[in-house]
A and B are shown apart, each in its own frame.
Chain A
Amino acid sequence: MSTVVADLHHEAPSEASRVHYLNASYGIKSWLLTTDHKRIALLYLASITLMFFVGGTAAVLMRIHLIQPQGSLFEPGTFNKLFSAHGIVMVFFFLVPSIPATLGNFLVPMMVGARDLAFPRINLLSWYLYITGAAFALYAILSGGVDTGWTFYTPYSSTYANTHVIAAALGIFISGFSSILTGLNFIVTIHKMRAPGLTWFRMPLFLWSMYATSIIFILGTPVIAITLFLLGLEHILHVGIFDPRIGGDPLLFQHLFWFYSHPAVYIMILPGMGVVSELIPAFSRKRIFGYGFVAFSSMAIAVISFLVWGHHMFVTGQSIYAGLIFSVLSFLVAIPSAIKVFNWTATLYKGSISYQAPMLYALGFIGLFTMGGLTGLFLASLATDVHLNGTYFIVAHFHYIMVGGAVMAYLGGLHFWWPKITGRMYPDGWARFAALVIFVGFNLTFFPQFMLGYLGMPRRYAVYPEEFQVLNVMSSAGASILGIGYLIPLIYLFWSMRYGPVAGPNPWPAKGLEWETPSPPPTENFEHTPIVTEEAYDYANMHIPPSESQVSGETHG
């Protein structure tokens, strides 16, 4: 009997009355105590957006300060606290959770065809851990700041610490467990909850990248946790294993720190690569070129990423032979990254390309990531690194990867899946415009920093010689454009939640299980457990119903 009722309901879905995950229940409690992966994804989305603008504010203040060679706003000590706050917030509270905790949380169960992640309550716990960690970090920043840089090198952070190191380190320690739990949930979900017919090599590449990211989460994050734990004990007891007075080695802290923090770079970029691997086929109407290579390159990056940490320490006096090995291994990690770039490009070849907003971000990602990756090879080379280490060249390099790569992919993915998440379309014209503004602003901000670094301007200084002013002003001008570029999506995405045209189940249209369910999806994701009978990205054989070829639906409001 109940089946008949359900089928009748399915026959005539009235868009206004349909129950989905957003209107299934109301009230603050239904959000704060939810175990629905889609709602938790939105909780994360709101929290990391807040943290992004906190970290962004610190960046804007620094760029304003650096317009004048003698610095226009702050004491050098305050400047130290600003770049530390920027780094800590952006790395640990925005970039690391950005794609996995929002898009990953939303999409992993949908892409495997499951009703939820394997452990929904642990998923909610991970958000609370993140919030607690973020609260400690914000407390540390607002109550006086931390001046150690985001790397917390000893003895700045132990013997000679005079700022709120403990609160900041505790915040990172706690939020680290949130990452571990997310990674654990993804690994178990991908292993055990794939829909019938969804074999490993039929999975969307986004799942492969989430799987590789999760491996780094569970293997790397515990090491930074124990490292910060030891740092905290040393700070409190005034004696510990990095303390030279009892034979401790401060450099050991750097080894342990980079054992996590270099793989963490791939925590930030691998999900972005996963997003781009979804966007490129969808907007080229082609199956991805070399599926297996792209999938395994994610795993290769995850494995090799644990073997290259020493390239952060070429000039610390580590053994020259260790440096040689680390240099070779760092070159090795460029190979799987290059495989991905070549395969994306090959996918574009003879594709039927359309330049909608998500695709603009994806193309921007490929260009900027390539720039960032190639300049990384300068730093992996022992001799050139001696010249470039500790300069703005490094700052530019990792911002090309982290902002030009990870943030571009994050925004591209957010635009791509926004109609699925909210059920609404955003204004495509504004979105394309914002993508362009961000691309221009980004390059104007960070390309001059390559030149500054090559000319020898050290990073983390509050003042600089006058001959560097032109390039610094260019960089600051770019930062203001970039800042506006980030504000535009914030406005129209909010606007679209209420006033955007209603998106159909599959507005692009794209392949993948997540597009075969209504937008926004019902709480249980699918009416029936889906059965997968085809390879991923089978765009060649995709039948596009005429009603879905365009954004359908009426404008509300």
Chain B
Amino acid sequence: MADAAAPHPSGHAAAHPPGFAHQFEDMGQQHEAGSLGMWVFLVTEIMFFGGLFATYTIYRALYLPSFEIGSRLLNVKFGAVNTVILIGSSLTMALAIHAAQTGKRQATVVYLILTMILGAAFLFLKFNFEWTADYHEHVVPGFGFFVRPEWGAAGPHVPMFFCFYFFMTGLHALHMIIGFSILGVLTWMAHRGRFTPEYYAPLEISGLYWHFVDIVWIFLFPLLYLIGGRYALRGGG
């Protein structure tokens, strides 16, 4: 990285604020470029998940009864609790950015740690309780999936629902783990006092990513957990 540390030619700012990268003209340009970069990246993420959502939609239209059976087998309580946890983590993330903007270093660190705890709680519920229970109920495709006779004609396509369930929530969990690691680095940076009211771009940009991962879950939860119609049936009599 010798060239990154090389002295700048005369003609552009001699004294750099902390966190300033040499290729930019000023801090404002750097901040705008960083945000736009993350938005563009989120567009690619939308296309990435979009492929899955599109195929989900196609097969759900083809095999709706099977998808309803599959959805009813999911534990909606875990899904609902996890939804609340994730929305809470979005709040603490936003509070961490606000604390950094107003120069409250201690509060930034606390809110970031809270966000990490909530993220970890989500993953713990998902892997340790939900997926383990699924495994014992033989609804994991490729790992002893058992087509129950009471599903009738819709039975053969139920594994399709569970393929989507595991691929989509698995991919989402992978994004959570990446976000969790980023939060770890940010917490360390905040602890070392790297962020100032002028320079908090890494926090804001990572916040965009974290909110995006939350929003994916906001779509996943109803599409996977709530399509079985169990509440509508109960309410209707």
Contact = CB atoms under 8 A, between A and B. Distances in A.
Instruction: Decide whether A and B are members of one complex.
Output: yes
Interface of A: 2-3, 6, 24-25, 30, 33-36, 39, 109, 114-120, 122, 180, 183-185, 187-189, 191-193, 218-223, 225-227, 229-230, 233, 237-241, 246-248, 252, 256, 522-524, 527-529
Contact of B33 (A24, A118, A219): A118
A247 B160 contact: yes
B194 interface: no
Contacts of B185: none
Given A193-B33, A222-B45, A230-B167, A528 B51 contact: no
Given A117-B23, A241-B164, A184 B55 contact: no
A247 B156 contact: yes
Nearest to B9: A524
B150 interface: no
Interface size class of B (residues with CB under 8 A): 35 or more
Contact of A529 (B11, B45, B163): B11
Interface of B: 1-4, 6, 8-12, 21-25, 29, 32-33, 36-37, 40-41, 43-45, 47-52, 55, 58-59, 62-63, 66, 141-143, 145, 156-157, 159-160, 163-164, 167, 171
Contacts of A241: 55, 59, 160, 163-164, 167
A540 B142 CA distance: 69
Given A2-B10, A118-B37, A180-B44, A239 B163 contact: yes
A241 B57 CA distance: 12
Dominant secondary structure of chain A at its interface with chain B: helix
A225 B62 contact: no
Contacts of B160: 241, 246-248
Nearest to A177: B44
A408 to B, nearest CB: 30
Given A6-B10, A116-B23, 6 more contacts: A2-B10, A119-B37, A191-B36, A222-B51, A240-B163, A252-B58
B44 A218 contact: yes
Given A114-B23, A529-B12, A184 B6 contact: no
Contacts of A237: 141-143
Given A117-B23, A184-B44, A246-B160, A30 B142 contact: no
Given A25-B3, A233-B167, A227 B51 contact: yes
Contacts of B44: 180, 184, 218-219, 221-222
Contacts of A34: 1, 3
A2 B25 CA distance: 19
Contacts of A193: 23-24, 29, 33
Contacts of A185: 37
Contacts of B62: 247
Task: Output the residue of B11, B51, B142 with the most chain A CB within 10 A.
Answer: B51
A246 B167 contact: no
A33 B1 contact: yes
Contacts of B55: 230, 241, 252, 256
